[in-house]
Amino acid sequence: MGRNYIFEDIEFYDYINDCVPYFIGFFLLENLLSIILKKKDLYLFKDSFSSLSTGLSTIIWEKIVPSTFLASIEFVIVLYIWRYHRLIDIAEDNKIASIICFLSVDFGYYWFHRLAHEVNYMWATHVTHHSSEKYNLTTALRQSVFQIYTSWVFYLPLGLFIPPQMYMFHKQFNTIYQYWIHTKYIGKLGPLEWIINTPSHHRVHHARNPRYIDRNYAGTLIIWDRMFGTFIEEEEEVFYGLVHPLGSHDPTWCQIHHWYEMYQQAKQYPAWGDKIRVYLNGPGWHPGTARLGDVNEIPMPTKEDIPERLGQPLPALLNSYVFVHFMLISIASLAVLAIYEHSLGYYKTGAVMVYLYLSLTCFGAIFDRKRFAMLAELIRLVMFIGCTWEIQSSVVQYMRLFYFISAGWMIANNISSSTFKTIKKD
């Protein structure tokens, strides 16, 4: 169940936490439907893993970040403005104010989202969400841990006249709404296409087709795109992912890679003005182009380039190994968080979250075929066995036994089987 959070004496309810089981249930249902309909190109486990691992990373970050202020900056700043600088007092059940709040949150999201595509340093905090080569409900969960540190500015004016509980309700609704539009199974919705953001509109937004780049920024209402000239209809086949593919499933690299790429680009230019423009202009900018770059330089996607972008698959047995361990440690960690967080305290909860992140990193290294991947995974298994040795819980004992078997299986196969030799870079 969701939880009530209290900042000073202001309490709000965590509706997003309530929705997590439904998020999981619907993407499992979509995956099952793709199997039944034999749409094998809709889901790919390593791509879904990257989406889920970045989503888990946001939860991990919230639990280990040393300050509530940093973890909840989108709420805390609005609360501060409302408490000390509000212009009027409005009742929390005021219907007109609620409608205004809904529109204001969505309007703020539109402009944050637009600038997150048009300003390179902001794109670095949003690019994670667009790095999936597939488009399904797991893509909605592929989130950046740093995005809130650029988006919070766009909601500041609401603190002048909107009660914080009302703001938080609509802010969460705006986020929850956007989950269902990350699907290919829902076509166009007739007259609703003129008003709300739909799966069709959002498929365009996630496209790497040149004509679709930087379009359809809407959160809930598509009217903002229509008003400000950024709307385009879904007409040609959509190809997903970044213009230049990420090519990695490491959760850390997925979060920070564009910062490194900006740094490398800025190093190429001797003029300080050009170095600064790398961060302030669009992601496609370079000297000699307009602020947002030249869309004609973006390669036209084809079906033939998809296999290369997806990379070489893992052997089936190893893929199954990663799937089982990923599900086991993720579910176990979230269960610990939901049931035992308050009794464990900050440090033990933080240790569980750090171990979960270490696990995600090891799985990502396996998918990336890193030379150190199998050694890192063996160390991860041994760490769990050692750190839980004195815990007598039957659930932990069964997990420990499974980790023992996994470690033995890994050692045996690493010595005598070609299964793990395929992990080495070709």
- Write the DSSP assignment of 366-420 as a string of letters: HHTT-TTHHHHHHHHHHHHHHHTTT---HHHHHHHHHHHHHHHHHHHHHHH-STT
Are residues 411 and 380 located together in one domain of the fold?
A: yes
Same domain, yes or no: 295 and 330: no
Residues 271 and 333 in one domain: no
Tell me, what's the pLDDT at 411?
86
Per-residue pLDDT band for 426 (boundaries 50, 70, 90) equals very low
Round to whole Å and give the CA distance between 136 and 127.
Answer: 17
pLDDT at position 414: 66
What is the pLDDT, as a whole number, of residue 416? 45
If asked whether residues 298 and 395 sit together in one domain, one would say no
Pairwise CA distance, residues 127 & 196, whole Å: 24
Is residue 397 domain-resident?
yes
- Same-domain pairing of 361 and 382: yes
User: 91-120 pLDDT, tens per residue?
Assistant: 989 999 999 999 999 999 999 999 999 999
d(CA 425, CA 173) in angstroms, rounded, equals 44
CA distances from 424 to 246, 262, 311, 414 (A): 19, 29, 14, 12
> What does residue 221 show for φ and ψ, rounded to 5 degrees?
-110, 130
Domain count, the chain: 2
pLDDT score of 274: 97
SS3 49: helix
pLDDT band at 66 (very low <50, low <70, confident <90, very high): low
pLDDT above 90 for 209? yes
Task: Give domain status of residue 401, yes or no.
Answer: yes
- Rounded Cα distance, 102 and 99, in Å: 5
Taking residues 240-261, report their average pLDDT. Answer: 96
For residues 333 and 384, membership in a common domain is answered with yes
In a domain, 280, yes or no: yes
Q: Is the pLDDT of residue 59 over 70?
A: yes
Q: Which residue has the higher pLDDT, 423 or 300?
A: 300
Whole-angstrom CA distances from 237 to 39, 202, 207, 209 are 16, 13, 9, 9
What phi and psi values does residue 240 have, to the nearest 5 degrees? -105, 165
CB 189 within 8 A of CB 197: no
Question: With 0-12 CB in 10 A as exposed, 13-18 as middle and 19+ as buried, what is 299?
Answer: exposed
* Residue 11 located in a structural domain: no
Q: What are phi and psi of 349, to 5 degrees?
A: -65, -45
Structure tokens at 43: 């889901």
- From 303, 329, 364, give the residue that closes a domain: 303
Tens-digit pLDDT profile for residues 333-352:
999 988 888 888 888 999 99
Contact 86, 160 (CB under 8 A): yes
Domain boundaries, position 351: 316-423
For residue 178, give the DSSP letter: T
325 and 376 part of one domain: yes
Please count the residues of the chain: 426
pLDDT at 370 over 60: yes
The neighbouring-strand residues paired with 5 are: 12
**Lowest-confidence pick of 105-119, 228-242, 304-318:** 304-318
Residue type, 2: G
In a domain, 379, yes or no: yes
Give the pLDDT score at 342. 84
Question: pTM for the complete prediction?
Answer: 0.92
Residue 115, CA distances (Å) to 11, 47, 126, 206, 217 in order: 31, 26, 10, 15, 10
Average pLDDT, stretch 414-426? 48
Residue 1 has pLDDT above 50, yes or no: no
Residue 346 lies in a domain: yes
- Closest of 151, 170, 154 to residue 162, by C-alpha: 170
> Could you read off the pLDDT of 158-204 as tens digits, one per residue?
999 999 999 999 999 999 999 999 999 999 999 999 999 999 999 99
Domain boundary among 243, 278, 303: 303
Same domain, 341 and 372: yes
pLDDT score recorded for residue 214: 95
Which of 275, 303, 331 is the last residue in one of the domains?
A: 303
- Its sign, for the CA torsion 319, 322, 328, 332, is negative
Is the pLDDT confidence value at 399 over 50?
yes
CA angle, 36 as apex, 129 and 242 as ends, to 5°? 20
Q: Do 272 and 358 share a structural domain?
A: no
Residue at 267 is within a domain: yes
Average pLDDT across the chain, whole number? 91
Given a cut of 70, whether residue 421 has pLDDT beyond it is: no
Indicate whether 38 belongs to any domain: no
Token pair recorded at residue 351 = 């240790």
What are the residues whose beta carbons fall under 8 Å from the beta carbon of 189, sequence distance 6 or more? 196, 198, 200
* 328 and 410 inside one domain: yes
